Amino acid sequence: MSSLMENLHERAEELQAILDGITEPLVLIDSGFRVRRVNKATLEFSNEPDFPSTLGRKCYEVLYNRSAVCPYCPMKDHHENEPDFDAQFEGKGEIGREIFHVANDQKETLYLDFFPIRKDGSIVSIVEKISNITRIKEKEEENLRIRNLASLGIFISGVAHELNNPLTGMSLTLQNLMNNLSSMDPAFFRKRLEMIKEDLTRAAMIVLDVISFAKPDKLVTTNADIHETIMKAKDSVTWVYPVLSKNTEWEILSEPGMTFQFNPVKMERLFINLFKNSLQAYDYGEGKIKVEVRRTRNMMHIFVEDTAGGIPEDMLDKIFSPFFSKNKSGIGTGLGLSICHSIVREHSGELTVRSYDRKTRFKISLPLVQPKGN
């Protein structure tokens, strides 16, 4: 009997040595929220002097200096008189939680892992592992700030480049007018004024992109015709970008009278951005933009498709992000598709994209009736 006890004691010391070798706090907790075993890292975390001072006490008291079960605990609905944690872990393996914790007047970010311990088919205790991820989160936030600053630089560069084109065009046209004012016939004068008007429209559209992203207006909807909105957007794009759209064929598969509740101005802006995106992808070459409208019982589905080469798989989940542009030249603000996504979300709809066989297909799904409060 004595040798058996010595053997058990030796095994217990070995187990404790293994636990103490783990640098993250590990706590064994029973169904009454009582601490049954801890490692040395737990003593450091909880500022407890020794192992006996922690055993038998409530876990939330020892670890987090609380008087009741922690609100973020996955077992917070467990009653202390229940013999097991089966209800809390039903259909689950381990459970994880990310929390904020204040220690020594400093806020830390912790990740808690809860591992169930089974006996006779029931979960009678759990092991809680505490990982301090404060430095990791700070690094992630720093990287995010750096990415945002880089994105902001690209955005400002894109806005400056986009605005510079129409401003340069207006400056040259005005210079031409001033140099030839005395000898210019009215028809030529009118043509030059039209060119200035086109450049002003382009500049206004760029500014509208920035304003739409920075401060979206409250959505006001009306019963409008989606076919009419699509045609207006097509006409606007071909008028503002005549050279870019010169070799583009259009296939509009919709009919007048397809009315439902939406904001025509915002939806026209959405289609202008999608059409402009396709035109830029063709890069002055020949191509076709196909638009198809399908109506179901409760939804209106609009498909916008081009065959300009498609979008790489690793970019598909980024294209709706602000400032993202797959145009390597830096042309464009990178806001077009982000604005499209915001407009669809405002309408309680969904905007998705697929890329296959060198094609890109956007699908806009909108409810026929806007939810109350929208």
Residue 22 tokens read as: 């783990």
Q: 206 pLDDT exceeds 80?
A: no
Q: What confidence tens digit (pLDDT) does each residue in 325-369 have?
A: 555 444 444 455 777 888 898 899 999 989 888 899 999 999 998
pLDDT, average across residues 242-269 = 90
Q: What confidence tens digit (pLDDT) does each residue in 299-314 have?
A: 999 999 999 888 777 6
In this structure, are residues 329 and 322 in contact, taking their beta carbons and an 8 Å threshold? no
Whole-number pLDDT of residue 150: 66
Alpha helices by DSSP H, the chain: 2-20, 40-46, 59-64, 134-179, 186-214, 226-240, 264-282, 336-346
Q: What is the pTM of this model?
A: 0.47
Whole-number pLDDT of residue 149: 66
Q: What confidence tens digit (pLDDT) does each residue in 43-79 have?
A: 999 999 998 999 999 999 999 989 999 988 988 888 8
359 vs 7: which has the higher pLDDT: 359
Whole-number pLDDT of residue 241: 80
